[in-house]
Amino acid sequence: MIRWCRFSASALLFSFLSLLLVFRYAYVVLPLVAAGLALLCVLFWIVNRESRWRLDREDGAFLLALLVFAAVWLGDVWRTGVWPVGEGNQGVGLPLWPVLAALVLVAWRQAPPRPGFWWWGVALGAFLAGGLAAYEHWWLGRWRVGNGINAIPFGNLALLLGSLSLAGLVSLSSARNGLRLALGLATAGGLLASVLSGTRGGWVVFPVLALIVLLAFHATRPRWGRFRGSMVGLVAVLVAMLLAMSLIPGVPVKGRLSQGVANLQEYAGGDAGSSLGVRLEMWRAGWQLIQARPGLGWGEGRLEAQRDAWVEEGRFHSGISRYDQLHSDLVDTFARRGVPGLLSLMALYGVPLWLFWRHWRKSGDDQTRALALCGVLIVVGFVGFGLSQSMLRDVRGLSGYLGLIVGCWCLVKGRCRSVPG
């Protein structure tokens, strides 16, 4: 049973990573299948007492962060009677997703996926995202690509998959040439998809992610200094490649940057109707909502009602009423669920970040350190993305974050048991 559960976990993790941005319903189909199989495995182990549970204090902290975030969100739904719907009414069950993630974590800790499925899944997912973006932009003539979904989460997730590929390329000193080539192509594919999506927030976050990878490389340099020259050269090539992608005629980078500057000038002049102007107005409204009710927040539905009432009074631009969120996970969560919501969000970020960083710093195994580095990049990436977009209120954003951190954590802990010392 353990072997079957481990194989299914590996296959589902690979499928989730590779299809998240390619198959439109991968964000919901694969997690539900994973949760269903996880429940069957857990029930079988409970009934048959097949083996001892592998959960420890670190797992308990991870599970607590997931369940507290879900509990606070569900408590908000209970007090208001309103469920979040998300873009296109696709996010009705969002508050329950961390519970499903906790169930999958329990099962996958007992039968963890194999690391190879992670690396090949990340590589294929980033590469396919880049290929799809190129097809949409140069063949279909779309200025901003997104595979039929919001271009912002598409570009952010593609960039993150490319960054994870870069982490594997730099960190896995014993990887075979085939995997190295795949990770190199995937890094380029993820960056290309981000560039063609026109997602400006991701371009701000990428230098931070690249710096973390370089610092991690520098810290491990004494172990495999012979790779230093080639890796530094590779990173330089990737940076040059990113700049080259940005300068290709027709690519939205220059236009999006120019548009951002013009939007700021318009907003300073009193015109808040532009894309960036409306976002700044949402943040301004969010801050006033927080000041009015910092304790428990306004709640699902009530936040939108108060915001729209202020719009009718002429306090904010009417464009902010088109959205069901405030374009910032931090601002939206604080304004909607108050201090408890803010603390639960900090735990959802902070607990995994601390645990991944701890394993990266203490482990003496290259594979474990590479996986732990990926965990750090995932959390830092979503923190950065969430400053200018409510990624955790987006169906693919929340699914992507939970799937990535849970899968990566189970791999890290699985390596800890298999590596001596």
Task: Give the residue among 244, 247, 183 at the shortest CA–CA distance from 213.
Answer: 183
* Stated pTM of the model: 0.94
Structure tokens at 40: 């069957």
Residue located via tokens 């694969």:
30
Q: Can you give the pLDDT at residue 236?
A: 65
- Cα–Cα distance measured from residue 271 to residue 267, given in angstroms and rounded to the nearest whole number: 5
Q: Can you give the pLDDT at residue 78?
A: 95
Task: Tell me the domain boundaries of the chain.
Answer: 1-254+262-421
User: Positive or negative CA dihedral for 190, 356, 403, 331?
Assistant: negative
What percent of the residues of the chain are helix, what percent strand, and what percent coil, each to the nearest 5?
Answer: 80, 0, 20
Task: Give the residue among 359, 353, 354 at the shortest CA–CA distance from 372.
Answer: 359
Q: How open is the CA angle 289-391-187, to the nearest 5 degrees?
A: 150
Q: Can you give the pLDDT at residue 13?
A: 97
User: In 134-172, which positions are buried (b, 16+ CB within 10 angstroms) versus exposed (e)?
Assistant: eebbeeeeeebbbbebbbbbbbbbbbbbbbbbbbbbbbb
Q: Helices marked H in 270-387 — which ranges? A: 275-292, 302-312, 329-362, 366-385
Amino acid identity of residue 194, one-letter, is S
Q: Spell out the residues 6+ positions from residue 362 whose beta carbon is closer than 8 angstroms to its own.
A: none
Q: Can you give the pLDDT at residue 238?
A: 65
DSSP label at 322? Answer: G
Task: Give the residue among 417, 410, 419 at the shortest CA–CA distance from 113.
Answer: 410
Residue located via tokens 């960036």:
276
Please state the rounded mean pLDDT for residues 123-143: 93
Lowest pLDDT segment from 177-186, 238-247, 252-261, 349-358? 238-247
- Cα–Cα distance measured from residue 378 to residue 349, given in angstroms and rounded to the nearest whole number: 10
- Cα–Cα distance measured from residue 191 to residue 371, given in angstroms and rounded to the nearest whole number: 20
Q: What average pLDDT does the structure give for the chain?
A: 88
Lowest pLDDT segment from 254-268, 352-366, 402-416? 254-268
- Cα–Cα distance measured from residue 34 to residue 8, given in angstroms and rounded to the nearest whole number: 8
Please state the rounded mean pLDDT for residues 40-64: 85
- Cα–Cα distance measured from residue 222 to residue 233, given in angstroms and rounded to the nearest whole number: 18
Please state the rounded mean pLDDT for residues 293-309: 94
Summarize pLDDT for 57-83 with one digit per residue, the tens: 999 999 999 999 999 999 999 999 998
Amino acid identity of residue 102, one-letter, is A
Is pLDDT above 90 for 307? yes
Structure tokens at 348: 């959802």
